[in-house]
Protein backbone atom coordinates (compact mmCIF):
# COMPACT_ATOMS: atom_id res chain seq x y z
CA UNK A 1 0.00 0.00 0.00
CA UNK A 2 1.29 3.43 -0.96
CA UNK A 3 0.17 6.25 1.32
CA UNK A 4 -0.15 9.75 -0.10
CA UNK A 5 3.06 11.39 -1.28
CA UNK A 6 1.45 14.86 -1.38
CA UNK A 7 3.76 17.52 -0.01
CA UNK A 8 6.90 15.38 -0.25
CA UNK A 9 10.09 16.78 -1.78
CA UNK A 10 11.61 15.02 -4.80
CA UNK A 11 15.33 15.58 -4.31
CA UNK A 12 16.57 12.02 -4.70
CA UNK A 13 14.98 8.70 -5.65
CA UNK A 14 16.51 7.38 -2.41
CA UNK A 15 13.72 9.20 -0.51
CA UNK A 16 11.12 6.88 -2.04
CA UNK A 17 10.30 3.23 -1.45
CA UNK A 18 10.13 0.65 -4.16
CA UNK A 19 6.32 0.72 -3.96
CA UNK A 20 6.26 4.53 -4.30
CA UNK A 21 8.51 4.46 -7.37
CA UNK A 22 6.36 1.71 -8.90
CA UNK A 23 3.27 3.80 -8.20
CA UNK A 24 4.82 6.82 -9.94
CA UNK A 25 5.70 4.66 -12.96
CA UNK A 26 2.17 3.19 -13.10
CA UNK A 27 0.68 6.68 -12.84
CA UNK A 28 2.90 7.89 -15.68
CA UNK A 29 1.74 4.96 -17.83
CA UNK A 30 -1.90 5.77 -17.17
CA UNK A 31 -1.34 9.48 -17.90
CA UNK A 32 0.50 8.69 -21.14
CA UNK A 33 -2.24 6.32 -22.30
CA UNK A 34 -4.92 8.92 -21.60
CA UNK A 35 -2.88 11.60 -23.39
CA UNK A 36 -2.40 9.38 -26.44
CA UNK A 37 -6.12 8.57 -26.42
CA UNK A 38 -6.77 12.28 -26.93
CA UNK A 39 -7.35 13.42 -23.35
CA UNK A 40 -4.93 16.32 -23.44
CA UNK A 41 -6.05 18.04 -20.24
CA UNK A 42 -6.63 16.23 -16.94
CA UNK A 43 -7.24 19.19 -14.65
CA UNK A 44 -6.31 17.76 -11.26
CA UNK A 45 -3.95 20.67 -10.44
CA UNK A 46 -6.31 23.45 -11.49
CA UNK A 47 -5.37 26.73 -9.82
CA UNK A 48 -1.96 25.44 -8.71
CA UNK A 49 1.28 27.20 -9.65
CA UNK A 50 4.66 25.61 -10.24
CA UNK A 51 7.84 27.72 -10.13
CA UNK A 52 10.59 26.55 -12.48
CA UNK A 53 13.83 27.95 -11.10
CA UNK A 54 16.91 27.59 -13.28
CA UNK A 55 20.53 28.35 -12.44
CA UNK A 56 21.67 26.51 -15.62
CA UNK A 57 20.23 26.12 -19.13
CA UNK A 58 17.60 23.50 -20.05
CA UNK A 59 15.50 22.40 -22.98
CA UNK A 60 13.80 19.13 -21.97
CA UNK A 61 13.40 19.68 -18.24
CA UNK A 62 11.97 23.14 -18.63
CA UNK A 63 9.57 22.29 -21.43
CA UNK A 64 8.43 18.90 -20.10
CA UNK A 65 7.64 20.25 -16.63
CA UNK A 66 6.00 23.37 -18.05
CA UNK A 67 3.75 21.50 -20.47
CA UNK A 68 3.05 18.79 -17.88
CA UNK A 69 1.84 21.39 -15.39
CA UNK A 70 -0.37 23.12 -17.99
CA UNK A 71 -1.90 19.81 -19.07
CA UNK A 72 -2.74 19.08 -15.43
CA UNK A 73 -4.74 22.31 -15.38
CA UNK A 74 -2.18 24.37 -13.46
CA UNK A 75 0.35 26.93 -14.59
CA UNK A 76 4.10 27.28 -14.53
CA UNK A 77 6.40 30.27 -14.06
CA UNK A 78 9.88 30.16 -15.57
CA UNK A 79 12.31 31.93 -13.25
CA UNK A 80 15.90 32.56 -14.19
CA UNK A 81 18.10 32.52 -11.08
CA UNK A 82 20.01 35.60 -12.26
CA UNK A 83 16.84 37.64 -12.82
CA UNK A 84 15.64 37.15 -9.26
CA UNK A 85 17.07 38.95 -6.24
CA UNK A 86 18.90 35.63 -5.71
CA UNK A 87 21.23 36.82 -8.44
CA UNK A 88 22.02 39.92 -6.30
CA UNK A 89 22.64 37.95 -3.14
CA UNK A 90 19.24 37.37 -1.51
CA UNK A 91 19.72 34.08 0.31
CA UNK A 92 18.31 30.75 -0.80
CA UNK A 93 16.60 30.45 2.59
CA UNK A 94 14.74 33.76 2.19
CA UNK A 95 13.91 33.03 -1.45
CA UNK A 96 12.45 29.65 -0.47
CA UNK A 97 10.37 31.22 2.30
CA UNK A 98 8.92 33.85 -0.04
CA UNK A 99 8.50 31.76 -3.19
CA UNK A 100 6.67 29.02 -1.31
CA UNK A 101 4.05 31.53 -0.17
CA UNK A 102 3.16 32.21 -3.82
CA UNK A 103 3.39 28.81 -5.49
CA UNK A 104 2.40 25.19 -4.79
CA UNK A 105 5.63 23.56 -5.95
CA UNK A 106 9.17 24.54 -6.90
CA UNK A 107 11.17 22.70 -9.52
CA UNK A 108 14.79 23.83 -9.39
CA UNK A 109 17.98 23.18 -11.37
CA UNK A 110 21.14 24.18 -9.52
CA UNK A 111 24.91 23.81 -9.64
CA UNK A 112 25.49 22.50 -6.11
CA UNK A 113 23.10 19.89 -4.74
CA UNK A 114 23.32 21.54 -1.31
CA UNK A 115 21.36 24.50 -2.69
CA UNK A 116 18.40 22.19 -3.34
CA UNK A 117 18.62 20.75 0.14
CA UNK A 118 18.52 24.28 1.55
CA UNK A 119 15.61 25.29 -0.70
CA UNK A 120 13.66 22.26 0.50
CA UNK A 121 14.50 22.93 4.12
CA UNK A 122 12.99 26.43 3.98
CA UNK A 123 10.14 25.81 1.54
CA UNK A 124 6.55 25.14 2.60
CA UNK A 125 5.86 23.40 -0.70
CA UNK A 126 7.47 20.42 -2.45
CA UNK A 127 10.84 21.05 -4.09
CA UNK A 128 11.56 18.93 -7.16
CA UNK A 129 15.14 18.34 -8.31
CA UNK A 130 15.44 19.35 -11.97
CA UNK A 131 19.16 18.41 -11.95
CA UNK A 132 22.04 19.19 -9.62
CA UNK A 133 25.73 18.36 -9.86
CA UNK A 134 24.98 15.16 -7.91
CA UNK A 135 21.62 13.85 -9.14
CA UNK A 136 18.98 14.04 -11.88
CA UNK A 137 16.10 11.96 -10.49
CA UNK A 138 13.32 13.18 -12.81
CA UNK A 139 15.45 12.11 -15.78
CA UNK A 140 16.34 8.72 -14.28
CA UNK A 141 12.74 7.90 -13.35
CA UNK A 142 11.79 8.65 -16.95
CA UNK A 143 14.62 6.46 -18.20
CA UNK A 144 13.43 3.55 -16.05
CA UNK A 145 9.94 4.12 -17.46
CA UNK A 146 11.35 4.00 -21.00
CA UNK A 147 13.38 0.85 -20.28
CA UNK A 148 10.23 -0.86 -18.98
CA UNK A 149 8.20 0.35 -21.96
CA UNK A 150 10.75 -1.07 -24.40
CA UNK A 151 12.06 -4.11 -22.54
CA UNK A 152 9.49 -5.20 -19.96
CA UNK A 153 8.99 -4.35 -16.32
CA UNK A 154 11.23 -6.94 -14.69
CA UNK A 155 14.52 -5.06 -14.46
CA UNK A 156 16.23 -8.11 -12.93
CA UNK A 157 16.02 -9.83 -16.32
CA UNK A 158 17.91 -7.02 -18.07
CA UNK A 159 21.57 -6.23 -18.49
CA UNK A 160 21.71 -2.45 -18.18
CA UNK A 161 25.09 -0.82 -18.84
CA UNK A 162 26.10 2.81 -18.35
CA UNK A 163 29.24 3.71 -20.31
CA UNK A 164 31.26 6.80 -19.39
CA UNK A 165 31.67 8.94 -16.27
CA UNK A 166 30.82 6.92 -13.17
CA UNK A 167 30.32 10.19 -11.25
CA UNK A 168 27.70 11.50 -13.66
CA UNK A 169 24.55 12.96 -12.08
CA UNK A 170 22.19 10.98 -14.34
CA UNK A 171 24.08 7.74 -13.67
CA UNK A 172 23.86 8.37 -9.91
CA UNK A 173 20.07 8.62 -10.11
CA UNK A 174 19.83 5.63 -12.45
CA UNK A 175 21.84 3.57 -9.95
CA UNK A 176 19.49 4.53 -7.14
CA UNK A 177 16.26 4.04 -9.10
CA UNK A 178 17.22 0.75 -10.72
CA UNK A 179 18.67 -0.47 -7.42
CA UNK A 180 15.60 0.41 -5.34
CA UNK A 181 13.50 -1.47 -7.89
CA UNK A 182 15.73 -4.51 -7.33
CA UNK A 183 17.74 -4.34 -10.56
CA UNK A 184 21.42 -4.16 -11.41
CA UNK A 185 23.42 -1.57 -13.32
CA UNK A 186 26.88 -2.12 -14.76
CA UNK A 187 29.10 0.94 -14.95
CA UNK A 188 31.87 1.00 -17.55
CA UNK A 189 34.24 3.72 -16.32
CA UNK A 190 37.97 4.33 -15.99
CA UNK A 191 39.82 4.50 -12.65
CA UNK A 192 39.11 7.71 -10.79
CA UNK A 193 35.54 7.93 -12.13
CA UNK A 194 33.72 5.88 -9.50
CA UNK A 195 30.27 6.93 -8.18
CA UNK A 196 30.29 9.64 -5.51
CA UNK A 197 30.59 8.18 -1.99
CA UNK A 198 27.42 10.08 -0.95
CA UNK A 199 25.48 8.21 -3.63
CA UNK A 200 27.11 4.90 -2.74
CA UNK A 201 25.94 5.45 0.85
CA UNK A 202 22.37 6.19 -0.32
CA UNK A 203 22.57 3.06 -2.48
CA UNK A 204 23.71 0.88 0.42
CA UNK A 205 20.88 2.18 2.57
CA UNK A 206 18.02 2.04 0.09
CA UNK A 207 18.83 -0.14 -2.92
CA UNK A 208 20.96 -2.93 -1.50
CA UNK A 209 18.21 -4.06 0.95
CA UNK A 210 15.90 -4.52 -2.09
CA UNK A 211 18.47 -6.67 -3.89
CA UNK A 212 19.77 -3.79 -6.01
CA UNK A 213 23.32 -4.10 -7.29
CA UNK A 214 25.91 -2.14 -9.21
CA UNK A 215 29.22 -3.29 -10.62
CA UNK A 216 32.10 -1.32 -12.10
CA UNK A 217 33.83 -2.89 -15.11
CA UNK A 218 36.80 -1.00 -16.54
CA UNK A 219 36.76 -2.56 -20.03
CA UNK A 220 33.85 -1.11 -22.05
CA UNK A 221 33.71 -4.13 -24.39
CA UNK A 222 33.53 -6.55 -21.47
CA UNK A 223 30.83 -4.39 -19.86
CA UNK A 224 28.65 -4.11 -22.98
CA UNK A 225 28.78 -7.82 -23.96
CA UNK A 226 25.21 -9.15 -24.08
CA UNK A 227 23.67 -5.84 -22.90
CA UNK A 228 19.96 -5.10 -23.32
CA UNK A 229 20.41 -1.40 -22.61
CA UNK A 230 23.45 0.78 -23.31
CA UNK A 231 23.28 4.26 -21.76
CA UNK A 232 25.67 7.17 -21.95
CA UNK A 233 25.75 10.85 -21.03
CA UNK A 234 28.03 13.76 -21.89
CA UNK A 235 31.60 13.58 -20.63
CA UNK A 236 31.59 17.22 -19.55
CA UNK A 237 28.53 18.20 -17.54
CA UNK A 238 27.33 21.76 -17.05
CA UNK A 239 29.69 23.40 -14.56
CA UNK A 240 32.66 21.13 -15.34
CA UNK A 241 34.14 23.28 -18.11
CA UNK A 242 37.41 23.84 -16.23
CA UNK A 243 38.24 20.10 -16.30
CA UNK A 244 36.97 19.59 -19.84
CA UNK A 245 40.28 18.57 -21.48
CA UNK A 246 41.15 16.01 -18.83
CA UNK A 247 37.71 14.43 -18.89
CA UNK A 248 37.68 14.14 -22.68
CA UNK A 249 41.14 12.53 -22.57
CA UNK A 250 40.22 10.07 -19.81
CA UNK A 251 36.82 9.11 -21.21
CA UNK A 252 37.63 8.88 -24.92
CA UNK A 253 38.08 5.05 -24.81
CA UNK A 254 34.45 4.94 -23.62
CA UNK A 255 32.79 6.31 -26.76
CA UNK A 256 29.59 4.46 -27.69
CA UNK A 257 30.09 3.70 -31.37
CA UNK A 258 28.93 1.03 -33.80
CA UNK A 259 31.78 -1.27 -32.87
CA UNK A 260 30.98 -1.12 -29.14
CA UNK A 261 27.25 -1.64 -29.86
CA UNK A 262 28.12 -4.80 -31.84
CA UNK A 263 28.92 -6.50 -28.50
CA UNK A 264 25.44 -5.79 -27.10
CA UNK A 265 22.42 -8.00 -27.85
CA UNK A 266 21.16 -7.56 -31.45
CA UNK A 267 17.96 -5.98 -30.11
CA UNK A 268 19.72 -3.77 -27.53
CA UNK A 269 18.54 -0.21 -27.08
CA UNK A 270 20.75 2.87 -26.87
CA UNK A 271 19.79 5.62 -24.43
CA UNK A 272 21.04 9.17 -23.72
CA UNK A 273 19.40 11.84 -21.57
CA UNK A 274 20.41 14.52 -24.12
CA UNK A 275 21.78 16.98 -25.05
CA UNK A 276 24.40 14.79 -26.79
CA UNK A 277 27.85 15.79 -27.90
CA UNK A 278 27.86 13.87 -31.15
CA UNK A 279 31.32 12.59 -31.99
CA UNK A 280 32.35 12.55 -28.32
CA UNK A 281 30.46 10.15 -26.06
CA UNK A 282 28.32 8.84 -28.95
CA UNK A 283 28.64 8.70 -32.72
CA UNK A 284 25.94 9.71 -35.21
CA UNK A 285 25.59 6.13 -36.43
CA UNK A 286 24.51 5.03 -32.94
CA UNK A 287 22.31 7.95 -31.86
CA UNK A 288 20.63 7.99 -35.28
CA UNK A 289 20.80 4.20 -35.69
CA UNK A 290 18.51 1.23 -35.12
CA UNK A 291 19.36 0.97 -31.41
CA UNK A 292 18.44 4.52 -30.48
CA UNK A 293 15.35 5.29 -28.38
CA UNK A 294 16.52 8.77 -27.37
CA UNK A 295 13.55 10.66 -28.87
CA UNK A 296 11.00 8.41 -27.13
CA UNK A 297 13.04 8.88 -23.97
CA UNK A 298 12.80 12.67 -24.32
CA UNK A 299 9.06 12.46 -25.08
CA UNK A 300 8.47 10.37 -21.97
CA UNK A 301 9.87 13.15 -19.80
CA UNK A 302 6.52 14.94 -20.01
CA UNK A 303 4.44 11.95 -18.97
CA UNK A 304 6.69 11.00 -16.08
CA UNK A 305 7.07 14.60 -14.87
CA UNK A 306 3.27 14.78 -14.95
CA UNK A 307 3.06 11.78 -12.62
CA UNK A 308 5.55 13.37 -10.21
CA UNK A 309 3.54 16.62 -10.15
CA UNK A 310 0.17 14.87 -9.87
CA UNK A 311 1.35 12.79 -6.89
CA UNK A 312 3.44 15.38 -5.01
CA UNK A 313 1.79 18.78 -5.45
CA UNK A 314 -0.88 19.21 -2.75
Which residues are identified as catalytic? 109, 136, 139, 233, 273, 301
Task: Write the burial class of residue 222 (CB in 10 Å: 0-12 exposed, 13-18 middle, 19+ buried).
Answer: exposed
274 binds ligand CP (CB under 6 A): yes
Task: Write the burial class of residue 6 (CB in 10 Å: 0-12 exposed, 13-18 middle, 19+ buried).
Answer: exposed
- Using the rule CB under 6 A, which residue among 273, 286, 294, 308 binds ligand CP? 273
**Binding string, 121-160, against ligand NVA, x = CB under 6 A?**
----------x-----------------------------
300 binds ligand NVA (CB under 6 A): no
Residue of minimal CB distance from ligand NVA? 237
Q: Which does 59 bind (CB under 5 to 8 A by kind): ligand NVA, ligand CP, none?
A: ligand CP
Considering the complex, what minimum distance in angstroms separates the CB of residue 169 from ligand NVA?
A: 5
* CA separation for the pair 258, 95 (Å, rounded): 48
240 binds ligand CP (CB under 6 A): no
* CA separation for the pair 35, 49 (Å, rounded): 21
Q: Which does 234 bind (CB under 5 to 8 A by kind): ligand NVA, ligand CP, none?
A: ligand NVA
295: Cβ contacts below 8 Å, ≥ 6 apart: none
Which helix H or strand E contains 86, and what residues bound it? none
* CA separation for the pair 192, 125 (Å, rounded): 38
Which one of the spans 74-82, 94-102, 167-175, 182-190 is the region binding ligand NVA (CB under 6 A)? 167-175
DSSP class of 85: G
- Using the rule CB under 6 A, which residue among 42, 63, 217, 238 binds ligand NVA? 238
139 binds ligand CP (CB under 6 A): yes
- Using the rule CB under 6 A, which residue among 6, 43, 46, 59 binds ligand CP? 59
Can you tell me whether residue 181 is helix, strand or coil?
coil
* CA separation for the pair 253, 240 (Å, rounded): 19
> Distances in Å between the alpha carbon of 176 and those of 63, 107, 214?
25, 20, 9
Window 91-130: residues binding ligand CP (CB under 6 A) = none
Interface residues with ligand NVA (CB under 6 A) are 131, 168-170, 233-234, 237-238, 273
Interface residues with ligand CP (CB under 6 A) are 58-61, 131, 139, 273-275
Amino acid sequence: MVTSMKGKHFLTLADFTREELEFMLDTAKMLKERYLAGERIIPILRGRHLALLFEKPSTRTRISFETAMLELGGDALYLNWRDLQLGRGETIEDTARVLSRYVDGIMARVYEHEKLVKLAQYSRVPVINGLSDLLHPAQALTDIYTIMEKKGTDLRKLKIVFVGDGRDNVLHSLMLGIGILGGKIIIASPEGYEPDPKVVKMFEETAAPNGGEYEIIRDPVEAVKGADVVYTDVWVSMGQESIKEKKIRDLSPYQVNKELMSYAKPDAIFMHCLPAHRGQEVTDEVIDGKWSVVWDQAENRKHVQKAILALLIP
